[in-house]
Structure 1
Amino acid sequence: MIEPKPTKVRTALGRNLTYGMLDTVGRAIVTGHYDGKRFPTEAELATEHGVSRSVTREAVKMLTAKGLLSARPRQGTIIQPNTAWNLFDTDVLRWLLERQFTLPLLRSFNELRLAVEPMAAQLAAMHATSAGVAMIAAGYARMEAAERGDDDALDADIAFHVAILRACDNPFFAQFEDLVSTALRTSIRFTNRFKGRSASLPAHKAVLEAIAARDASSASATIRSIIEDVMILIRQAESEGAVVDRGAAVLG
């Protein structure tokens, strides 16, 4: 069967039309473009973006695999509730960064950090190689450089925490890298009017020194206190009815 030729000018989807379509529609779903609206049919999407039905169909299949869409008899393709989204998917996490955040979502991210990072620090203290410790030390050095204005504070903070996940000698923990990175990036959208500050260098240095000294309990407790500090601010903001401010920063 020959597909009808698209009737509109193709939108800027990039060279790979399928992945361009995936990115465009996925971002629209996650950022709320379709909230309260009927999700378009494949034919409507193809016409709107100026691509073939086969491109649209493949993109919809990929979004369905990510938990964003569901095809149901007599209902067509509908958007799934965010509880069904694959929040460990790299694309979904990337699109979430462009969404208007709520404090409950920020709290959820940091609750998961509390479940992961203290154990990762404990394992790093127990199992990290000299190269792993050096990688964590390099992340901390970047944080010091950021304090002097010679590096990006958020990127440096992420490098430190990701290095711990990589150094703990457990491939499952390393898989949390994208999620922890996203959680840290969301913090920059959280208001700092309660306690404006950048990431605590002494606290992060204490984590590094505990890992280097093979003090597993101290490494775990110290990184837990860093995340708990952010959780206290979140709970305080929730109690005061605050909203997320995209321009402010709280780092963990």
Structure 2
Amino acid sequence: MALLDRNFNLSHRMVHELGKAIICGEYNTDGLPTEAELCDKFGVSRSAVREAVKMLSAKGLISSKPRQGIRVQAEEEWNIFDPDLLRWSLESKPSMKVLKEFLQVRIAIEPEAAALAARYATQEQIDAIEAALERMKNAEDNTPEDLDADIAFHISILYASNNRFYVRLRDFIQTALRVSISHTSPMKGNHEGIVEDHAKVFNAIKNRNPERAKHSMLLLIDEALNFIEEELASKSN
């Protein structure tokens, strides 16, 4: 393997391990290990460490300045829409509060995306939404196939909105779904009911009814949000 390729791969491994550790709260804003200490910890060269620091800085997780060393940024500086940060959040078993925030963002995006899909979706895009719904119907409850089909349904609607900004939110929505569905579907415990709720969204889009599509998607996400809020309330009592 070429030295450049080797350093690139080592840097990415370090980015993943150190980034996830920061997300999990293993380091605070007081600072990170020195460059030399990071070389020893991860068994990489200084060039690999410097490349990893650049990548983590671009994600807003850390800063590196002369005479200040490498420091963890305050959480509000993190680029939480970055796909890697989203994945690390998922892998770190996020709190119910984070799940609630995920759903609050979804409820601000997906109903309008459904309304746009009812207006502007092509027949091919409507077929893709229907195909995902059929996969949901045929999948066993609370299985990886069921989860993947559910996610495909929602992502297909983002594409069907034909709005480039909504489409670019697909990584965020996909991660939010993968986190929240695995919690809320078992709470509802009614696979047929879940499929029926999704079918209402699809039928409204297929029938070119933007208001009904928007309302149906709003109800679908709001129910999941209610489940999360009820669990949060029970834990605070």
Distance 2:82 2:55 in 1: 12
Aligned residue pair count: 230
Q: How does 1:1-252 map to 2 (within 5 A)?
A: 16-35=9-28, 38-147=31-140, 152-188=145-181, 190=183, 195-198=188-191, 200-241=194-235
Q: Which amino acid aligns with 2:194?
A: S
Higher mean Cα deviation, 190-199 or 52-61?
190-199
What TM-score results when the alignment is normalised by the length of structure 2? Answer: 0.89
Helix, strand or coil at the partner of 2:79:
coil
CA deviation after TM superposition for structure 1 residue 149, in Å? 8.7
Q: Which amino acid aligns with 1:141?
A: E
CA deviation after TM superposition for structure 1 residue 231, in Å? 1.0
Partner of residue 4, structure 1:
none
Distance 1:49 1:24 in 2: 9
Between Structure 1 and Structure 2, the one with more helix by share is 2
Distance 1:61 1:21 in 2: 12
Query: Which runs of no fewer than 5 residues in structure 2 stay unpaired?
Result: 1-5
Instruction: Please tell me whether the aligned partners of residues 162 and 180 of structure 1 are also in contact (alpha carbons under 8 angstroms).
Output: yes
Q: Among the aligned pairs, what percent are the same residue?
A: 42
Distance 1:22 1:115 in 2: 31
Provide the alpha-carbon RMSD of the alignment.
Answer: 2.4
CA deviation after TM superposition for structure 1 residue 134, in Å? 0.6
Distance 1:193 1:162 in 2: 21
What TM-score results when the alignment is normalised by the length of structure 1? Answer: 0.84
